[in-house]
């Protein structure tokens, strides 16, 4: 068994952690028999994903799961770590033309599950269309793991940090009025934007995809709330792998960068705004700044390890249950690679419920950049204003109606204790 360090922040949640879902929309109806065969082949390349959660004296471990990952034709998102998923921490379901992979953040983050998803879709498409597609850098069955693919980025030794001055951060952002509402339901809107056109527009304005969406979203909020008493702050999820020297790890390795949208910034041209954001990002992604952030996560795990009971650990991390990040969050998974099978993928969407506030999940697949607007409040005022920003930029897009949804809380934390006695005897160390 392996004690969980990265990913600890996603454990000890009241009621369990809700799964995160990658929803792949294929061009054609999905065949379950071929998906099963593709999954079996893909799992040969990713043996570490066959895992279950085990709790012992308040600590959580990942243990090998000898049961297979199940597949079901259902719209229901099943509870990870439950009997229905063979206690696995990932689940594969399908209906119509959708293939959904749900995953638990105690096992992987978005970048960690991405290669598995790519391999799965590649093998499925090869079977579905009876074609040996060009793999184009995909990880295939029979190949060895990459160096450091199972590295623990947040171990017991802190990173050495140089004397580079810490960047000035603006975390205290404007609170959307909707953020103060009691959460009753979760909603999402799906937006698909022409990828080629979107990237050309971003490049013409010296922006990356995330910078462009952050600026459009911030302008939308400022338009709706011109009297905002604080800067509109985008909390941007950022991969730490390269700066920490673990480029191939599948484990959680993410920090947050902060992009403030001030009145001074609002007065600039789009290119000038994007250039300013590039500077903010470069400062916060300096190796010393990233290692300092990583050391903070290591320190949290060290303090958690000093506690001796499950109740104490849950109490320490209870603030995550009501955590609200202001003003909004962006997470960008990047460009997905399906090799020659990409032509059979319409789009991919990323969503999870259970988080308070406003979140924009982005990724690129096939011909589209997808932006999934997730929110814990009913008003769709922001969504429509954001669409007006896309219209003003003359970007071609399509959008869905408001979708009420809920991903499923895990059962792993409830079943882990009952499994501990059986598996703890195999633990050494």
306 in any annotated domain: yes
Residue 172 located in a structural domain: no
Is 96 among the domain residues?
Answer: yes
Closest alpha carbon to 236 in 177, 171, 298, 178 = 171
Inter-CA distances, 367 with 194, 298, 317, 395, Å:
6, 39, 41, 14
Number of domains in the chain: 2
Q: What is the pLDDT of residues 169-203, one digit of tens each?
A: 999 999 999 987 888 999 999 999 999 999 999 99
* Contact residues for 324 (Cβ-Cβ < 8 A; gap 6+): 179, 356, 357
Confidence band, pLDDT 50/70/90 cuts, at residue 320: confident
Residue 161 belongs to some domain of the structure:
no
Helix (H, G, I), strand (E, B) or coil at 198: helix
DSSP-H helix ranges across 285-411: 287-306, 310-316, 381-392
Let me know whether 191 and 150 are in one domain.
no
Cα torsion at 64, 70, 76, 77 (round to 10°)? 20
Q: What is the DSSP letter of 18?
A: B
Residue with tokens 């320190």: 299
DSSP string, 128-139: HTT-----TT--
Residue 388, phi then psi, degrees to nearest 5: -65, -30
Whether residues 226 and 247 fall in one domain: yes
Asked if residue 164 is part of any domain, the answer here is no
Judged by DSSP in three states, 225 sits in coil
pLDDT tens for 12-62 read 888 889 999 999 999 999 999 999 999 999 999 999 999 999 998 889 999
Q: Find the domain containing 381 and state its range.
A: 177-405
- The C-alpha atoms of residue 232 and residue 263 are separated, in whole angstroms, by 9
The answer to whether residue 160 sits within a structural domain is no
Same domain as 386, residue 419 = no
CATH number where 224 lies: 3.30.559.30
Q: Is residue 341 part of a domain?
A: yes
Of 325 and 79, the structure prediction assigns the larger pLDDT to 79
Question: Mean pLDDT throughout 119-134?
Answer: 97
Bridge partners of residue 233, in order along the sequence: 260
Chain mean pLDDT for the chain: 93
Do 101 and 45 fall into the same domain? yes
Which of 78-82, 331-335, 369-373, 415-419 bottoms out in mean pLDDT, i.e. has the lowest? Answer: 415-419
pLDDT of residue 414: 59
Specify whether 80 is located in the same domain as 144.
Answer: yes
Lowest model confidence (mean pLDDT) among 87-96, 124-133, 346-355, 407-416: 407-416
Sorting pLDDT into bands at 50, 70 and 90, what band is 121?
Answer: very high
In this model, does residue 1 exceed pLDDT 70?
yes
pLDDT in tens, 387-420: 999 999 999 999 999 999 999 999 866 555 444 3
Average pLDDT over residues 325-339: 95
- Same domain for 415 and 308, yes or no, is no
pLDDT of residue 415: 54
Q: What are phi and psi of 46, to 5 degrees?
A: -125, 65
Angle of CA points 154, 156, 47, to nearest 5° = 55
Tell me, yes or no, whether 210 and 359 share the same domain: yes
Angle between helices 195-204 and 209-224 (to 10 degrees): 80
pLDDT at 418: 45
185 and 294 inside one domain: yes
Residue 119 in this model has a pLDDT that exceeds 90: yes
On whether both 10 and 95 belong to a single domain, the answer is yes
- Overall pTM surpassing 0.85 (yes/no): yes
Q: Are residues 198 and 277 in the same domain?
A: yes
CATH number, domain with residue 53: 3.30.559.10
In the numeric block, which tokens belong to residue 275?
Answer: 């250039």
> Is the pLDDT reported for residue 421 higher than 60?
no
What's the rounded mean pLDDT across residues 325-335? 95
What average pLDDT does this structure show over 4-8?
91
Same domain for 241 and 104: no
Query: Is 213 in the same domain as 278?
Result: yes
Instruction: Please report the pLDDT score of residue 368 as a whole number.
Output: 95
| Assigned domain for 69 exists | yes
Encode pLDDT of 260-279 as tens digits: 999 999 999 999 999 999 99
């Amino acid at each position: 068994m392996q004690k969980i360090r990265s990913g600890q922040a996603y454990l000890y949640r009241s009621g369990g952690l809700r799964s995160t879902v990658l929803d792949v929309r294929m061009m054609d109806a999905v065949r379950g028999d071929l998906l099963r065969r593709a999954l079996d082949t893909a799992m040969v390349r990713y043996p570490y994903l066959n895992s279950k959660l085990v709790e012992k004296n308040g600590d959580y471990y990942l243990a090998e799961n000898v049961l297979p990952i199940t597949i079901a034709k259902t719209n229901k998102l099943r509870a990870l770590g439950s009997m229905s998923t063979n206690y696995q921490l990932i689940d594969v379901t399908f209906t119509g033309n959708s293939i959904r992979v749900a995953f638990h953040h105690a096992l992987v983050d978005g970048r960690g599950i991405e290669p598995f998803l790519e391999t799965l879709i590649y093998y499925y498409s090869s079977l579905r269309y009876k074609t040996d597609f060009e793999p184009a850098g995909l990880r295939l069955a029979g190949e060895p793991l990459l160096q450091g693919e199972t590295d623990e980025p947040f171990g017991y030794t802190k990173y050495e940090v140089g004397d580079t001055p810490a960047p000035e951060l603006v975390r205290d952002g404007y609170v959307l009025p909707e953020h103060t509402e009691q959460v009753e339901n979760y909603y999402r809107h799906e937006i698909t934007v022409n990828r080629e056109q979107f990237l050309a527009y971003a490049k013409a304005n010296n922006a990356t995809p995330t910078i462009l969406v952050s600026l459009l979203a911030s302008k939308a909020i400022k338009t709706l709330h011109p009297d905002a008493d604080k800067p509109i702050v985008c909390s941007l999820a950022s991969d730490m792998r390269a700066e920490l020297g673990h480029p191939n790890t599948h484990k959680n390795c993410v920090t947050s960068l902060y992009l403030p949208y001030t009145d001074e910034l609002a007065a600039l041209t789009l290119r000038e705004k994007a250039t300013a954001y590039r500077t903010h990002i470069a400062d916060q992604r300096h190796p010393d700044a990233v290692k300092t952030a990583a050391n903070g996560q290591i320190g949290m795990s060290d303090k958690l390890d000093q506690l001796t009971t499950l109740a104490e650990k849950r109490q320490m991390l209870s603030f995550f249950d009501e955590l609200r990040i202001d003003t909004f969050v962006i997470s960008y998974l990047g460009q997905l690679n399906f090799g020659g099978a990409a032509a059979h993928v319409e789009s991919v969407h990323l969503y999870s419920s259970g988080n308070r506030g406003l979140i924009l999940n982005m990724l690129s697949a096939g011909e589209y950049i997808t932006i999934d607007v997730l929110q814990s409040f009913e008003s769709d005022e922001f969504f429509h204003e954001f669409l007006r920003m896309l219209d003003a930029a003359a970007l071609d897009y399509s959008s869905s109606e408001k979708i009420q949804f809920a991903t499923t809380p895990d059962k792993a934390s409830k079943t882990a204790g009952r499994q501990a006695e059986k598996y703890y005897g195999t633990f050494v160390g």
